[in-house]
Structures are given as C-alpha cells and as structure tokens.
Amino acid sequence: MVVGQGTEVRKHSKRFYLSLVVILIVGFTLFSIFVNMFSKTSKTVTIPIAFPIVTILIFYETIIRDRGLDALGLKKENFLRNIGIGVLTAFLGFYLIFLIIELTIPGVMEEIKSRPETISNFFMYSFSFPLNYILQTIYVFGMLSPAEELLFRGFIQNKLQKIMSPHLAVIVQSTLFGLTHFIPAYASGWLLLHCLTYGLIGFIGGIILGAIFYKTDNNIVAPWIAHAIADSPLTLLLLI
C-alpha cells in the first residue's frame, strides 16, 4: 500500500513538472512575440538565454532524474531569513558597487540601463509611468532573476561545489557570469572600457551572489532577491 502510494505521488509530481515545462516553453514563446510586437525600438528584443536553458534543466532534474526543484536550489527552508539576507545584500553590496562605479566611470550605469534590446528596457520605454516601473519590477523578480539564479548558482555553482572547493566554484561561476555581461556589451559596440566595467560588475556580482548562495545552504532565495533588487527600477531612481 505504501509502495503504491509512493509510486502515485511520483507520477503526480512528474505530471506537475511536465506541465510546468510546457507552460514555460509556451509562455516564453508568447512572451517573446509580445515584446517584439509592442516594442518601440527598431532592434529585436531578445529573450535571455537563461530562460530556455533553465526550462531544459527543470525538465532534466524533475522528469529525467525524478528529483524536485530543490536540486536546483529552490528551497523553502528559512525563507523569510533568506529574503532579509537578499535585501541587505542588495543595499549594502550592490548599491555600494553601483555608486562607486557611477562616481569613477560616469555614464556606464546609464548605458547599462538604456540598452534597447533588453526586456527590462522594453517595459521601461514602451509603457508610461507608473505602469512601466510596475511591469519591469514584476519581470525582474518573477522571471529574470530566478532564471539566472537557477542557472548560475542553483545549477552551475551547485555542481562545481561537488568537484572542487566552494571558493573556487564561486570564482568559476562568477567568471562565467561576468562573461555573459561582457560579451553582449562588446557585441553591441560599446566602448571597451564600458564593456570591461560591465563584465567586472557581473563578476563581482557573481562573487556576492555565489557567496550568499553557499552561506544559505545552497538556496537561491537570498541571491534571487538581491539580484532582483539590483536589477529593479529602484536602481534607476537612485542612480540616474
């Protein structure tokens, strides 16, 4: 009886995760069509590469390996504490970095926040205030930040920590995170100094997010919140 119940629970879980994967695929496709239909820029608004990769990871971990999303760091333990850690990290870590960069290399933060091909700026400049800020906030908290944290911290760093020291794992994933910021900026024709600065922001940010991921028992909640606040419209209000 117990064995049968366990089998039924696993079947129910697989159906749930398979439905989630289908929803993500259809949702991201429709979302991509929507933003490009209503975008006011001549450039194609691109879906972050983290979105499809995370969809594949969820399918692999939950359907193929028959595990839950906690395998990717999405855990409910100490939820409120981790939210608090994320908030403190954003204000005491990221905003200090942003302020230093704004004071030492003027114009970089404004260029980062004005790329027309990003979804954040699609919301920012395609809708009027306050709807643009509301939509952008929902996007960074509900889509961008969790997708990137599931990929870079929940999957990459989590896997690396099993084959190397946690400190080295943080450095490796931070390097990859920095490159994902540097390469698009360089491809867009930014000044090399601005590209390097943006890559450095990604690297340092990866160090901070990776550290709190490790310190909170490999849980993505704290880095998720910190990352989302750093990418939210609040950054624009404070710095530009």
Residue-number span of the structural domain to which 230 is assigned: 2-239
Q: Which residue did the predictor score with more confidence, 232 or 197?
A: 197
- What tokens appear for 94 in the block? 């990221």
For the stretch 151-192, pLDDT in tens is 999 999 999 999 999 999 999 999 999 999 999 888 888 889
* pLDDT of 3 over the 60 cut: no
How many separate domains does the chain show? 1
For the stretch 34-69, pLDDT in tens is 888 888 777 778 888 899 999 999 999 998 988 889
- DSSP state, residue 150: I
- What tokens appear for 90 in the block? 């954003």
Averaged pLDDT of the chain? 88
Rounded CA gap, 87 and 69, in Å? 23
**Peptide bond preceding 223 in cis form (omega within 30 of 0):** no
- C-beta separation of 94 from 230 below 8 A: yes
How many alpha carbons fall within 13 Å on the CB side of residue 115?
22
